[in-house]
């Protein structure tokens, strides 16, 4: 059994006065709300929901699952794309009330409980301490799953991934049928303990135990002001102008292929290209420049504009074969405002709906075959009312790529873009059509094997889980999967914490 000064003792469960939180059974009027996920395709029917507010209560809740033979599933924000924070039997352990954060008492840095949401931290860390975690922007996503899967957001090109700032983790594990609370860090004295810490730097949630706290080294300063710009093109102008579509998508990709070096002029610039289906009416780019200098932002906008002045942005050259085509003018709106105000206006998870999601990392610009596939699936007349289906292309790289692929559990450290495939709908009757659309698009983009790591692609993001993936260990984890399996075998050998794509013990 792991031991040492970094491990907290096994809790003496006999005679403890602390209750395992608030128990919600199917007869409780709160039950229908508490078993629903953000993705409304998934509604659980657990034996009960256990709401815990402290680490003591979390240990007891896990132990009660062990003693009664029920499977525990941990829920922080409930945003798992595949509904793995829900289940048809067993116990949902809801940690959303563990939502405190503060400076660390033992050293410099910060403690964050795993039930905190992105908005808790964005708003609170800014107001109390003037710092920021470079995590996601969807306000209600919980730290419990978001952080241990890597955690990236609009500040990641500047500061790296959230796990790059992680210093230690407190987690309830199960050893020999007993729930145990341990704290491990990157300097823990044993290999087993270091492996458990490392596994939480991108290994994904629901694999090794119930995370109660994250500990961070001193966090970076939050921006004071930022520039925010949106650029939009009307689909009505683009239809019949595929060359212009190819041009603007390629301009986006080329910009980040050429400007994703760490410490460069554009490392404070983060952009999101929203390639919606034509039923939406527009495709758009949103871009944040997180400092007072708007020149990099203006240069990016120029680079995105068809017919740019090559003397202003010499790195962006015309695409071969389309010089002289009709110029499709975008609408552009740019403003500067306090950074926190930007996060308030853009910090949205959207309404709860049914959904399906896929992902891919890219190391270089889009080949013509992928541009053709995007156009075909975004403009098809099949399913004409799909206005909430899109390909979102997020900028990546810069500081993210300064970390070695095996230094953390997340191996994708050479990409310039991350793609999110998304489709949303409201009625169960539309499930088959939406699933067929996104699966067909994805297969045409990458083939049956998915975006396998090569010179162009680099697998998938574990925090955007996709049960369709055949070779998910390679696509999520690459060469890091073997070390994750060793950690799983040491810390959860009986596979108490599991889901459809959880780490398998050796």
Range of the domain at 454: 225-478
Q: What is the pLDDT of residue 451?
A: 98
Same domain, 304 and 383: yes
Q: At residue 13, does pLDDT exceed 70?
A: no
Helix (H, G, I), strand (E, B) or coil at 18: coil
Helix (H, G, I), strand (E, B) or coil at 232: strand
**CATH at 35:** 3.30.43.10
* Segment 298-324, tens digit of pLDDT: 999 999 985 433 333 334 344 333 334
| Domain stop point among 66, 94, 122 | 94
Q: What is the pLDDT of residue 19?
A: 62
The overall average pLDDT reported for the chain is 90
* Segment 429-480, tens digit of pLDDT: 999 999 999 999 999 999 999 999 999 999 999 999 999 999 999 999 999 9
Going by C-alpha positions, the residue among 148, 300, 128, 313 that lies closest to residue 229 is: 300
| Domain stop point among 68, 94, 120 | 94
User: For 81-91, what is the mean pLDDT?
Assistant: 88
Q: What percent of the chain has pLDDT over 70?
A: 91
Q: What is the pLDDT of residue 105?
A: 83
418 lies in a domain? yes
238 lies in a domain? yes
- Tell me the helix, strand and coil percentages in the chain, rounded to 5: 30, 25, 50
CA dihedral (289, 294, 296, 301) positive or negative? positive
d(CA 123, CA 137): 11
Q: At residue 12, does pLDDT exceed 80?
A: no
H-helix or E-strand containing 296?
A: helix 295-304
Q: At residue 123, does pLDDT exceed 60?
A: yes
Q: What is the pLDDT of residue 10?
A: 35
Same domain, 32 and 122: no
User: For 183-191, what is the mean pLDDT?
Assistant: 94
Q: At residue 381, does pLDDT exceed 70?
A: yes
Same domain, 164 and 237: no
Going by C-alpha positions, the residue among 122, 124, 212 that lies closest to residue 168 is: 212
Query: Whats the size of the chain, residue-wise?
Result: 506
Q: Angle, nearest 10°, between helix axes 118-129 and 339-346? A: 170
* Segment 196-246, tens digit of pLDDT: 999 999 999 999 999 999 999 999 999 999 999 999 999 999 988 899 899
Q: Does residue 209 contact residue 197 with C-beta atoms inside 8 Å? A: no
Same domain, 203 and 291: no
* Segment 314-372, tens digit of pLDDT: 343 443 333 344 567 789 999 999 999 988 766 566 678 899 999 999 999 999 999 99
Q: Does residue 480 contact residue 459 with C-beta atoms inside 8 Å? A: no
What residues have CB less than 8 Å from 263, skipping those under 6 apart?
398, 399
Q: What is the pLDDT of residue 87?
A: 81
Same domain, 270 and 375: yes
Q: 72-75 and 91-94 as β-strands: parallel, antiparallel, unpaired?
A: parallel
Count of domains observed in the chain: 3
């Amino acid at each position: 059994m792991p031991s040492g000064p970094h491990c907290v003792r096994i809790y003496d469960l006999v005679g403890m006065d602390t209750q395992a939180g608030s128990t919600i059974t199917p007869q409780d009027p709160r039950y229908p709300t508490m078993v629903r996920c953000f993705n409304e395709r998934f509604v659980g029917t657990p034996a009960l929901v256990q709401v815990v507010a402290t680490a003591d209560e979390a240990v007891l809740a896990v132990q009660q699952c062990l003693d009664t033979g029920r499977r525990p599933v941990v829920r922080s924000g409930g945003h798992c794309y595949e509904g793995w924070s829900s289940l048809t039997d067993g116990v949902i352990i809801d940690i959303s009330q563990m939502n405190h954060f503060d400076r660390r008492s033992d050293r410099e840095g910060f403690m964050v409980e795993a039930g905190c949401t992105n908005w808790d931290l964005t708003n609170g860390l800014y107001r109390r301490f003037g710092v920021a975690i470079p995590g996601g922007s969807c306000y209600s996503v919980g730290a419990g799953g978001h952080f241990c899967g890597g955690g990236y957001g609009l500040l990641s090109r500047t500061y790296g991934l959230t796990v790059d700032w992680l210093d230690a983790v407190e987690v309830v594990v199960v050893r020999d049928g007993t729930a145990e609370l341990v704290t491990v860090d990157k300097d823990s004295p044993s290999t087993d303990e270091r492996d458990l810490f490392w596994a939480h730097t991108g290994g994904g949630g629901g694999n090794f135990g119930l995370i109660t706290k994250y500990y961070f080294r001193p966090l970076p300063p939050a921006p004071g002001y930022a520039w925010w710009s949106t650029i939009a093109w009307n689909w009505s102008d683009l239809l019949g102008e595929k060359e212009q579509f190819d041009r603007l998508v390629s301009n986006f990709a080329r910009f980040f292929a050429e400007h994703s070096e760490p410490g460069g002029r554009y490392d404070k610039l983060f952009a999101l290209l929203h390639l919606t289906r034509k039923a939406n009416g527009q495709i758009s780019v949103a871009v944040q420049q997180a400092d007072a200098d708007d020149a990099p932002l203006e240069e990016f906008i120029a680079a995105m504009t068809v017919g740019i002045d090559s003397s202003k942005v010499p790195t962006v050259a015309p695409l071969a074969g389309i010089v002289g085509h009709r110029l499709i003018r975008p609408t552009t709106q740019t403003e500067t405002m306090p950074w926190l105000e930007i996060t308030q206006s853009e910090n949205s998870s959207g309404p709860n709906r049914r959904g399906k999601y896929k992902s891919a990392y890219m190391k270089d610009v889009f080949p013509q075959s992928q541009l053709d596939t995007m156009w075909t699936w975004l403009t098809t007349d099949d399913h004409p009312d799909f206005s909430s289906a899109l390909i979102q292309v997020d900028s990546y790289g810069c500081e993210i790529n300064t970390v070695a692929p095996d230094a953390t559990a997340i191996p994708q450290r050479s990409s310039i873009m991350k793609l999110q495939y998304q489709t949303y709908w409201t009625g169960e009757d539309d499930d088959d059509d939406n699933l067929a659309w996104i699966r067909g698009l994805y297969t045409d983009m990458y083939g049956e094997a998915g975006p396998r790591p090569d010179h162009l692609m680099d697998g998938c993001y574990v925090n955007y889980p996709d049960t369709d993936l055949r070779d998910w260990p390679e696509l999520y984890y690459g060469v890091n999967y073997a070390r994750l399996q060793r950690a799983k075998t040491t810390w959860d050998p009986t596979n108490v914490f599991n889901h459809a794509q959880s780490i398998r013990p050796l």
